[in-house]
Amino acid sequence: MKSHRIAARSQRGMTLVELMVAMVVLTIGVLAVGRVFPAGSRGQLQDRMLTAGNYYAQQQVEELQGLTWADPVLSIGRHPASGDVALGSGGQWHRFYQVDLLTAPLDNLKRVTVTVSWTFMGARSVTATTYLRR
């Protein structure tokens, strides 16, 4: 008879306290996983902004590489002289480029540095540099 009582006690199931503890642990786990998704979305948007910035910089480099040494677009200095060119559908990216003449013995080279900047979670920028020969 005593073994029958012990068996009956062990088969009674979970108590309400055990169920509440399990629910709290499960809720904490779900909330922790839920916080990962917004961080992933921000990271994905930041990567897309960086990719677009690199694209705009490379686009300008390729355009400038097709010009001749004496082209006015490749005059020494900052282009445009004041301000930046706004790019993108909302003008989120800003681009300018700097042309420098290297000193002797490399005075037959111009260094062109294209800078694209934007603001997303702080100021960000990328640069692309190319050298043009006379």
39 vs 24: CA distance, rounded Å? 24
pLDDT at residue 60 greater than cutoff 60: yes
Residue 20 is classified by DSSP as H
**pLDDT greater at residue 90 or residue 77:** 77
Number of domains, the chain: 1
Mean pLDDT of 48-62: 95
pLDDT at residue 5 greater than cutoff 70: no
55 vs 84: CA distance, rounded Å? 16
Q: pLDDT class for 1, splitting at 50, 70, 90?
A: low
For residue 60, the one-letter residue type is: Q
120 vs 129: CA distance, rounded Å? 23
**Winning range, highest mean pLDDT, from 7-11, 39-43, 66-70:** 66-70
Structure tokens at 56: 């705009």
pLDDT at residue 51 greater than cutoff 80: yes
Domain residue limits at 114: 2-133
Tally of CA atoms within 13 A in the half-sphere of 111 that contains its CB: 11
